[in-house]
Structure 1
């Protein structure tokens, strides 16, 4: 199976799993960690093009699981995390990973945050090495084994 086919299949599988857990994913920690994850994946390569920012924003707003939260609140949190990362990626990454780590108290939420990162990363047709690397780092922050997500 071609690499893209596997990535596409994983993204679809994770999105389906997220939708099945939608009613369990309503905490503030999940919301905050999810927006931190979205920003981390968007900034993974060190550059956030306006088109990429717009694409991730549309994915956030259109994600059925994230509809548990007001769209403007999600946007504000995503933008704040992105600003932290673009100011100084290495320092910002530490702060954003700490935000992500807040979801580790609830394993279902922690897994959902990683799944959201994979869905966001794979939405453009590629889940490149820099995106995989930051999602792998998030796994460690959440005390989850990266191999569980094929990372």
Structure 2
């Protein structure tokens, strides 16, 4: 009986960990995609922007457990954007739509996008265009984030 409880407890813990991954996957993908969309706004995704994005996600306790999946997601979106910006943009906007109806996740994705835009010290005009578009898409008040519409 004790062995059965221990076995079930282990499986319950594994199931909870997997469920947490599923629940937070949309947020991770939205943050990665949104960050890369901002990074690509000026025509080039800089390695420093990708490094900052990776750092932000790995420092986030609710996302750090994704490990190598973070790198895979970064690589996938980067490849899509580099192959054709519009195709990559559409794929990313679909990921962003997954968190749109959760205010907390939308805000979290958006502030991470701002962090990527500010990674080089200033928000470039092309980055600002993307931030405004996504912020309005999320239904956020841009002024709450220091962005003037």
Unaligned runs of 5+ residues in structure 2 are 1-22
Q: How many residues align?
A: 125
The 2-side partners of 1:134 and 1:51 are apart by 19
Could you tell me whether the CA contact under 8 Å between 1:85 and 1:93 is conserved in 2?
yes
Q: Distance in 2 between matches of 1:133 and 1:88?
A: 19
Residues 83-98 of structure 1 mapped to structure 2, 5 A cutoff: 83-98=79-94
- The higher radius of gyration belongs to 2
- Could you state the TM-score of these two structures normalised by the residue count of structure 2? 0.71
Q: Which moved more, 1:141-150 or 1:104-113?
A: 141-150
Residues 120, 50 of structure 1: CA spacing in aligned structure 2 closer, same or farther, 3 A cutoff?
closer
Measured in 1, the distance between the counterparts of 2:87 and 2:141 equals 24
Q: Distance in 2 between matches of 1:142 and 1:115?
A: 12
- Look up the match of 1:105: 101
The partner residue of 2:76 within 73, 80, 94 is: 80
Structure 1 residue runs of 5 or longer lacking an equivalent are 1-25
Q: What TM-score, normalized by structure 1, do the two folds share?
A: 0.70
The answer (yes or no) to whether the contact 2:56–2:112 under 8 Å persists in 1 is no
Give me the CA root mean square deviation. 2.1
Deviation (angstroms), 1:59? 4.1
